[in-house]
Structures are given as C-alpha cells and as structure tokens.
Amino acid sequence: MKKVIIGMSGGVDSAVAAYLLKKEGYIVEGLFMRNWDSSINNDINGNPTLNNDICTQEEDYNDALKVCETLNIKLHRIDFVKEYWDYVFKYFLDELKKGRTPNPDIMCNKYIKFDMFKKEADRLGADYIATGHYARIIDGKLYKGIDTNKDQTYFLSQVSKDQLSNVLFPIGNYTKDIVRKIANEQNLVVANKKDSTGICFIGERNFKEFLTNYLPNQKGDIIDIDTNKKVGEHIGLMYYTIGQRRGLDIGGNDKRLYVVGKDLNKNILYVSLGDDTKYLQTTEALIEDVNFISDKRPTNCKAKFRYRQNDIDVDIEYLKDGNLIVKYDNIKSVTPGQACVLYLDDECLGGGIIKEVRKNGKKLWYL
C-alpha cells in the first residue's frame, strides 16, 4: 500500500480529505505545520513584541489531533516559523513597501506547503502528499475543483509542475456542502467549524494594528486627482488598495470617494469622486514572475486577476524576457502585486504577478 502524508490544518477540508484517503486504502499520516508564532509579534527589525491575542493555532492543532484520533491515524507536527518568515512574510512586507497588493497565500503554497512540507513528507517515507485544496490533478495537469465557488487553483498558480507531481487533492471532486455532510456522518469534531478567513498570520486581528508592529506609519496627503486639492490625510499608503471606498475617513464625501492610485515618492494617496471607470478601467497588464504548470502556451484564454473573479477573456503576448502582456477589455481594479492566473477551460495553466497596468498601451502614472 502507498503512504500519504496529508497536511492537517485543523479544518474540515483537510479532515475529510484524510478520511477519503484512508477509505481508498492508503496508509495515511497527518502533518500539522506551525508557520507563525502567534504568541509574539515582531517589529520591523525582527525584535519580539508582546501580543495578547488568543492563539488559534494551538486550537487548530488540537482539532487536527482529535480528527486524527477519530480516524486512527498518526499526526506529526513541524515548525516552519523561520521559513515562513523568510519566504512569505518578508515578501508580504516588501510588496507593501512598494505600494503593491501582495497575496501571501500564493507564496505560502510555493515555498512552504509544496516545498518544505513535501521535503518533510519525503523524510517520513511518503509516496504522495495531500492537502485539502479544492483542486484536481488529471493526467499530471492542474484543474479547477468542481465547486466553482471554492476552487483554489488561483492560490496554486505559482507551484511548479514538478512540485505537483505525487500530489493528491482528495476533495477536488466534492462540493463544500458534501464535504461538511461527510464530516458530520463520520462524527469529525470539525464538521461545522467555521472556515478561516483573511490572511493566515493576521487572523481576526485588526490589519492596521497588526502592521504597525512591522512597518512604521507614514502619514501623508490625500489628493483629489480631478482638482489636485487636498481632501484629507492618510495613515500610510500600505493600508489602502486600488478601488477602495470604505475606511477613507474624509468627512461627508467618504462614501463617494474611491482610491485611484499612490505616489510613493511624494507619499500621496489619490482619490476621486467621479466615475470609477475613468481611472480604474485598464486594458492590459505586464506580468512578471511567470510560472507555467501546463505545457500549453495559448494566445487566447481566460484569466483571473482576483480570487473568485469571473473568468475574463484575454489575449497573451509572450515577451523574450519571459514576461507576458495580458490584454483584456476594460476591466476595473487590476492591481500591481496581485496574481494573474491563466485558464484554458477548467485547466489552470499557471500565472504570474502583475507588475504594471496600462490603458491603450500607456502606463498609468497614478498606478
């Protein structure tokens, strides 16, 4: 029999994935990853600061342990705190400093779950590794999970083809409702546990308060791009995203204003009261750090620029330096730092990171 090491997160998805693997006859063992030290925060220099937040990570471990006891499988535990800091969290901070919108979950999959985790699984004698992702692998190719509302291939777009070899996604052919139904039928303690949301290392904490431990606030002017007049003061460019309408705190106009762009050199946040299509709609994006999982290189396919965004028709130009120009028809809020993920039907071809956006071939100065 083949041995599978499955990443146990303490959630319902990995619990049911472990159950399904055991039901199929695999020798199954779980591995819980501790990627973040929730008992402390560190400042920008890496020095620890006190954190009084409740540590949900230990609760997750205990839930994973209870599931493994119910399924009668062994649970291993390993710390990747340093690796996560070096490869994921530093990337997150560096992108914020550049005024971009990073996605740390994508880098966690690339460097931790399908690299460090896989190496540890090999050490434990695994023939396969498995996770609770809503995705499918068919003939060595990555496909969307059948639950289109939960499909997680967007977050797997930076994982290499080699990293996906000998990987199993047991719940990729199931909907979330069925996964919870199976968990209840098997009396798994996490059957009705709420799904985790937001960025994993921030959890339920206030985003702004969390970041002040690592990046100093640099207040600056909020400028109306149409009148070039100051309309308020921002608390730090890193706290704002393109298209954002809430939380600007600019008096009576707050509900109508939206974020247009940032000037890092002048520390200015640009907003507008006008039609958001004027500033937020773009027609093409330059994509860097391109990773192809598939051997296919279409010139026309579908793309997502945000998780759960509807698939968008795009044309692709392949540049000699390995970057891509992805062209589309007037899409709003395509933002530097986010991922552009490519699809052909249900197959995930791979993706890259948005370096800059353009309108009719011209780079927008405010983005």
CA–CA dist 33, 119 (Å, integer):
13
User: Active site residue: 108, 301, 340, 348, which one?
Assistant: 108
Distance of alpha carbon 333 from the chain centroid: 17
Nearest CA-CA partner of 114 in 150, 165, 174, 172: 165
**Phi and psi (nearest 5°) for 10?**
90, 5
Q: Which residues contact 191 (CB under 8 A, 6 or more apart)?
A: 12, 180, 183, 184
Q: Please, is 237 exposed, middle or buried when counting C-beta atoms within 10 Å of its C-beta (0-12, 13-18, 19+)?
A: buried
Q: Which residues contact 239 (CB under 8 A, 6 or more apart)?
A: 207, 208, 211
Is 200 catalytic? The answer is yes
Residue 147: count other Cβ atoms within 10 Å of its Cβ: 18
The radius of gyration computed from the CA coordinates of the chain, to the nearest angstrom, equals 22
What's the length of the chain? 367
User: Active site residue: 55, 68, 200, 348, which one?
Assistant: 200
Is 108 catalytic? The answer is yes
Positions marked active-site? 108, 200
